[in-house]
Amino acid sequence: MARKCDLLQGTLDMLVLRVLSRGELHGWGIAQKLEQLSRSALQVDEGSLYPALYRMEDKGWIEAEWRVTENNRRAKYYALTRAGRNRLKAEQEDWDRMSAIIAEVMQSA
């Protein structure tokens, strides 16, 4: 079982955009996918996820549409926009650059 860890500030948007780059999902599905992909190391609660989704929707990175789930319930499905894809690309480049710098510092001395 993976050790639980807190998300670094600012990484939730990037992770949600990455999950949505694979296809549309509702909020609960996004949280489940993040938990699955992290081997249960990341668990995003509703109090963090939904404000992030609303913020990203306001910025135009994602769009939302109410639909009926496979369980016959109404849910808001989120999808990446072109602006969201561009943002994800920029976030990924920043992350790669920063993690390389941190790795270099940690391995020195």
Question: pLDDT tens digits for 3-55?
Answer: 565 565 579 999 999 999 999 999 999 999 999 999 999 989 999 999 999 99
Nearest residue to 55 (alpha-carbon basis) of 32, 85, 24, 78: 78
Which pLDDT value is given to residue 90? 97
Which pLDDT value is given to residue 4? 60
Give the pairing type, strands 25-26 and 62-68.
unpaired
Q: What is the pTM of this model?
A: 0.88
Nearest residue to 15 (alpha-carbon basis) of 47, 61, 58: 61
CATH 1.10.10.10 fits 11-107, yes or no: yes
Handedness of CA 93, 56, 69, 42 (dihedral sign): positive
Assess contact for 25 and 19: CB atoms under 8 A: yes
DSSP structure class, residue 61:
S
